[in-house]
Amino acid sequence: MNPERLSQAAIATRWLSCCSVVLACAFSSACGGSSGSSTKNAAPVVAVSGANVLPIAVNSGPAGLYVDGAFASATVCVPGSSTCQTIDGLLVDTGSSGLRILSSALTVSLPQLSTSGGTTGQAAASEPIAECLPFLGSYTWGPVQAADVEIAGEKASSLPVQVLSDTAYPVPQGCTNFGLPSANSLSTLGANGILGVGFYAQDCGAACAAAGTANPGLYYTCPSSGCQVAAVSATQQVQNPVSLFSSDNNGVIIELPAVSAPAASLSGSLVFGIGTQSNNALNGATVYAADQNGNLTTAYKGKSYSTSFIDSGSNGYYFLDSTTTGIPDCTDLVGFYCPSSTQNVSATVQGANGNSGTVSFSIANADTLFSNNTDTVFNQLGGPSSNMFDFGLPFFFGRNVFTAIEGKPTPGGTGPYWAY
């Protein structure tokens, strides 16, 4: 969706339908993922070299708590300096935009952004900026700071990033009113941060730069008297680092090999750019344009569901409910399906451009999948998520999945779109 053309209600819907953090040892209802087969681009190839290629690994993450989580690293530097730190264990998320780093994982001191456009401590500085971002099952809170960020051979200079902390500034009531738990620690996030490489250049856009009731209330200024909702310019909002690269800045590809059975880990690549180099061509992939809300439409059992999306930050294939699907919920693992035998499912996805294709996948018993504590890669993991389809990381297994950034030209048209 385009945040510059949406109401406060639509912005809230956007964020509540992004990825959510789900830990392998503390399962909760989340977003999704898919598994099995569907219309795929022919013979997916995983790129292994190039300045625009970042290795990713599907494993249990830095806390040892994840399943179906794709992790990568980035180097964070004090702007304009050689004071840098490489941070690994970042969750790769095409369902959000922006780099978010746990304060506990950050050892370099980054300059704080302020509403003046400067950094605190400068003469032009005013009030420090912080952000509260709700995901489906948790929220992140913390100051917005500036960093030069190097990812593979690409660089985003003076990138606004969110540093996750419950203590840097007191968590405001507007943040806790979402009724969600904090994900500001390693034990709750399960990662050292989130590398959001989704559709949008900023994580909110013009709505959060607007004054009054049109503002969805995600950004705050935090003077000594306490944090208050504030209008923050788009340039000072948390930015998608890919959109600020000097090249290869129109989208990303996640490339992961096929998975036929549970596995302990899986290696793949995050490739920057679409049609900008020889290793990121569309190669006949079908383009599914996102609608104004950033979604696809999925038809299943004669009914269409307009809230459907493809999201690497989700760890399973989450869709509808047990009554609609006929697939029983787990009795002990809330938020997952536990059929007595593996269920094969078929649905049809359609983009706003009219392109459509069949997606076939399978849902296995989550209790059985998790019975082997050494496995973290599952191609048949799923669960309920009322009135929506979320094609999470298992959907990416055996596909090259493209995510094109809004407003950026590509050989497949202008983003936002998915292609595979």
pTM to 2 decimal places? 0.90
Higher-confidence position of 40 and 261: 261
Stretch 236-257: mean pLDDT: 98
State the residue for tokens 């344009």.
289
Higher-confidence position of 9 and 386: 386
Higher-confidence position of 43 and 128: 128
The encoded tokens of residue 113 equal 């952004």
Amino acid letter, 24: A
Strands (E), 152-227: 154-164, 193-197, 219-221
Instruction: Give the CB-side neighbour count of residue 274, counting CA atoms within 13 A.
Output: 33
The stretches of 135-278 forming alpha helices (DSSP H) are 173-176, 186-189, 206-209
> In a 3-state reduction of DSSP, which class is residue 303?
strand
pLDDT (tens digit per residue) in 364-405 = 999 999 999 899 999 999 999 989 999 999 999 999 999 999
Confidence of residue 31 (pLDDT cuts 50, 70, 90): very low
Confidence of residue 212 (pLDDT cuts 50, 70, 90): confident
Give every CB contact of residue 65 below 8 A, 6+ residues apart in sequence: 23, 24, 25, 26, 187, 190
Nearest CA-CA partner of 200 in 151, 153, 154, 133 = 133
- Mark 184-213 as b/e (b = at least 16 C-beta within 10 Å): bebebbbbbbbbbbbbbbbbbbbbbbeeee
Q: The dihedral of CA 23, 26, 32, 36: what is its sign?
A: positive
Domains of the chain listed by start with CATH number: 45-244 (2.40.70.10)
> In a 3-state reduction of DSSP, which class is residue 369?
helix
**Sheet containing strand 385-391, strands side by side:** 356-363, 343-350, 296-300, 303-310, 385-391, 317-320, 382-383
Please give the pLDDT value at position 365. 98
Cβ pair 257, 46 in contact under 8 A? yes
Cβ pair 380, 394 in contact under 8 A? yes
Confidence of residue 7 (pLDDT cuts 50, 70, 90): very low
Please give the pLDDT value at position 2. 28
Strands (E), 1-128: 53-59, 69-77, 84-93, 97-102
Q: The dihedral of CA 235, 240, 245, 248: what is its sign?
A: negative
Residue 26 has pLDDT above 90, yes or no: no
Please give the pLDDT value at position 145. 98
- By CB atoms closer than 10 A (0-12, 13-18, 19+), residue 357 is middle
Stretch 58-64: mean pLDDT: 96
Strands (E), 228-342: 228-229, 251-255, 266-272, 287-289, 296-300, 303-310, 317-320
CA separation for the pair 104, 133 (Å, rounded)? 19
pLDDT (tens digit per residue) in 68-87 = 999 999 999 999 999 999 99
Instruction: Please state, rounded to an integer, the average pLDDT across all residues of the chain.
Output: 89
Confidence of residue 1 (pLDDT cuts 50, 70, 90): very low
Stretch 75-102: mean pLDDT: 98
CA separation for the pair 413, 367 (Å, rounded)? 43
The encoded tokens of residue 131 equal 């952000």
Q: The dihedral of CA 240, 241, 243, 248: what is its sign?
A: negative
Cβ pair 360, 344 in contact under 8 A? yes
> In a 3-state reduction of DSSP, which class is residue 236?
helix
CA separation for the pair 107, 110 (Å, rounded)? 9
Query: Strand 193-197 relative to strand 84-93: parallel, antiparallel, unpaired?
Result: parallel
CA separation for the pair 6, 226 (Å, rounded)? 29
Please give the pLDDT value at position 368. 96
pLDDT (tens digit per residue) in 109-166 = 999 999 875 555 443 458 999 999 998 889 999 999 999 999 999 999 999 999 999 9
